[in-house]
Chain A
Amino acid sequence: MSDAFAHSPKSLERGELRKLLRRQAMDVFMTVLASLLAVLAVSILFTIFGHILVNGFASLNLDFFTQIPKPYGETGGGIAQAILGTLVMLALAGLVAIPIGVGTAIYLSEFGRGRFAATVRFCLELLAEMPSIVVGVFVWAVLVRNVTGYSGISGAAALVVIMLPIIAKSVEEILHLVPDSLRESALALGTPKWRVVFKIVIPTVLPGILTGIVLAMARAAGETAPLLLTALGNSFFNLDLTKPMAAIPLQIYNYAISPYDDWHQKAWGATLILIVVVAVFSAAVRFYTRSKKIEIR
């Protein structure tokens, strides 16, 4: 704006000068405001991470990873059964959700068109934004009520419903990145479509697909509300999928709402573990993706 001054100072009357100053003051004000808001948002994040890190670190030790919870009053004990439960349910949910999710994504990107594909996409959107407690109610009504009771398998089913739409949506987006010319050249050689998909399309964007899957699993790992109504939680080691199963988020919740300081402390520790696991997974996959990124032109 200093150019305006340089242009012809004489022709600037007092009123115009004031107007110019006001415009510039407003500009400076908004710049500062936007910067402050960004700083605020970032500092909120650092505050939360800071508290989790500091409080969580205090309660970590080897027992925390290898022992099961002790009754209140006894010191020590850990959340090993919850770590195991989360891993088991995640793995099981992945076994179901990944094929269905990737299958849906392949259908949408390779075959899907018209109204049917639009309907599928719409359903995926709604499922992805479904309040997680409603997922719990649904799985409770389908499985827990009459079939399985509170159990690891119903917990895994709830995680399938959480993961499936996220996987399908992200993988479809990634598959669209593969240029049609690649598909067409393979098809022109007489390759059947399924081989084109498995040999050309998927390998081209495999890192991206893996990212989508891992992010979906990370999201599922932190889900609490649906597990509350399905897996229920457990204070002991349990690999029997028909019995209630522990999970890290459930453990955090139960410890957090308990009246004991020692358990609150353990809730912070469990939260730190959960976040570190989620972050490490996401970071690892992001690193892997970056190192393998294939130039698509």
Chain B
Amino acid sequence: MAEKKSRTKRRFREEPGDRIFRGLTLGTSVFVILLLIGFVLLLLSDSGESIVKFGLGFLTTSDWNPVETEVNKVAFGALPFIFGTVVTSVIALLLATPIALGSALFVSEYAPKWIGQPIAFIIELLVAIPSVAYGLWGLFVLVPFMRNVVDPFLQGTLGKIPVLGLLFAGPPQGQDLLTAGVILAIMIIPTILSLSREIITQVPKLQKEGMLALGATKWEVLSKAVLPFARGGIIGAAMLGLARAIGETMAVTMVIGNSSTKITPSLFTPGYTIASAISNQFTEADTPMYFSAVVELGLVLLLVASLFNVISRILVNNMAKLPGGAKA
């Protein structure tokens, strides 16, 4: 029915100008789709050599030897980079989520509007800082701070606990996985904050007022009405933060050390993330196989970041469909 209607409309009413207009804008939309398809196809074809040769072993082995030496054969196993990405993004998520969520609750529930809104605006300004600026700050301010203050402190306290202490073993160097995780946390705070703030304001007012009327405290309202309602969306916000942390390149490259491909439990070891490995090694990749392996890193990065992005969208969109969700 609808199709028939639009067809008649097109035949009788669409003028030549409109047809051209629709064609042009349709063309740009098709370009967008082709661009994404092009991305995936090109990365697939350029990493083909490495995919065929190493298969899944690329993701599960940890020898990354681009150059043949007496001891090592040429091999490309991306596990150390994957490990670095997982460790740094988990640290980032663990640090950023409570700060972002607490700030979101503060600006939208606790603070009066005239305080809350400027604060939210200021925190969201963090998004506007380019990642190379975070890298610079990280390299010259955060790295020394971590090396001289935070790392020794962690070693002196948590480092003394058996098992857990392994995370903080070794001499603090500043340029390590932990520092990379901290800079990532700072970078994703505004992402998580602004999305979860949007979601928290979608909680129907009636539910909050209902609980208040029953004599609940503010925190009881938040923990029993607001947060359960917003849970899915907040997890979605965190997932978007995670996707950004996984893909972040410059800031991490500048503080993570980029020197060791060993996997150790200590957060005080320098390492690589997938993204920093690409940026460091892309121009060095002088053999076809080396190049192909670096491009496959890019492919892995694209797939993982997109996956978390999609999960995040689904969770957040589900929120919008809930009763009262669309109104805010």
Residues on B facing A (Cβ under 8 Å): 14-15, 17-18, 20-22, 24-29, 31-33, 35-36, 38-39, 42-43, 46, 98-103, 105-107, 109-111, 119, 122-123, 125-126, 128-137, 139-141, 186, 189, 193, 215, 217-220, 222-223, 240, 243-244, 246-250, 254, 275, 278-279, 282-283, 294-295, 298, 301-302, 305-306, 309-310, 313
Contact = CB atoms under 8 A, between A and B. Distances in A.
22 contacts: A30-B223, A38-B106, A38-B123, A41-B99, A52-B136, A99-B28, A107-B22, A119-B33, A129-B240, A133-B278, A134-B278, A134-B302, A137-B282, A141-B295, A142-B38, A194-B17, A222-B130, A252-B136, A253-B254, A256-B254, A274-B130, A278-B130
B199 to A, nearest CB: 16
Contacts of A4: 215
Nearest to A130: B302
Interface in A115-138: 116-117, 119-120, 123-127, 129-134, 136-138
Contact of A44 (B17, B186, B218): B186
B103 A37 contact: yes
B130 A137 contact: no
Interface stretch (A20-28, A58-66, A202-210): A20-28
Interface centre among B27, B100, B103, B301 (most CB of A within 10 A): B103
Contacts of A44: 126, 186, 189
B32 A222 contact: no
B42 A141 contact: yes
B102 A23 contact: no
Interface string A267-292: 11001001100110010000000000
A165 B32 contact: yes
A57 to B, nearest CB: 15
Contacts of A124: 32
Contacts of B35: 123, 127, 161, 164
Interface string A35-54: 11110111011011001100
Given A34-B105, A131-B247, A253-B135, A120 B29 contact: yes
Nearest to A120: B29
Contacts of A195: 17
Contacts of A111: 22, 25-26
Given A44-B186, A110-B25, A104 B295 contact: no
A71 B328 CA distance: 57
Contact of A125 (B33, B186, B313): B313
Nearest to B299: A134
Interface stretch (A75-83, A224-232, A234-242): A224-232
Given A107-B28, A138-B42, 14 more contacts: A26-B217, A35-B111, A36-B102, A42-B122, A103-B28, A110-B25, A120-B32, A120-B33, A124-B32, A131-B247, A194-B21, A229-B279, A229-B282, A264-B140
A129 B131 contact: no
B132 A222 contact: yes
A112 interface: yes
Closest 6 CB pairs of A and B: A222-B130, A131-B247, A37-B102, A103-B28, A107-B25, A194-B21
Contacts of A138: 38-39, 42-43, 298
Given A45-B125, A111-B26, A257 B215 contact: no
A215 to B, nearest CB: 8
B133 A131 contact: no
Contact of A127 (B36, B107, B109, B139): B36
A168 interface: yes
A278 B98 CA distance: 29
A222 B26 contact: no
Nearest to B306: A126
A133 B279 contact: yes
Contact of A34 (B42, B103, B282): B103
Contacts of A274: 130, 133
Contacts of B28: 99-101, 103-104, 107
B131 to A, nearest CB: 7
A127 B119 contact: no
B247 A31 contact: no
Contact of A134 (B132, B298, B310): B298
Interface string A186-197: 000000111101
A130 B247 contact: yes
A31 B29 contact: no
Interface in A244-263: 249, 252-253, 256-257
Nearest to B128: A278
Given A41-B189, A103-B24, A257 B105 contact: no
Contacts of A40: 99, 103
Given A123-B33, A225-B249, A52 B133 contact: yes
A108 interface: yes
Given A27-B220, A193-B18, A275-B129, A225 B39 contact: no
B67 to A, nearest CB: 21
Contact of B215 (A1, A30, A142): A1
A239 B24 CA distance: 32
B285 to A, nearest CB: 11
B133 to A, nearest CB: 5
Nearest to A35: B106
Contacts of B249: 131-133, 224-225
A223 B128 CA distance: 11
A26 B220 CA distance: 9
Contacts of A125: 309-310, 313
A59 B107 CA distance: 37
A31 B110 contact: yes
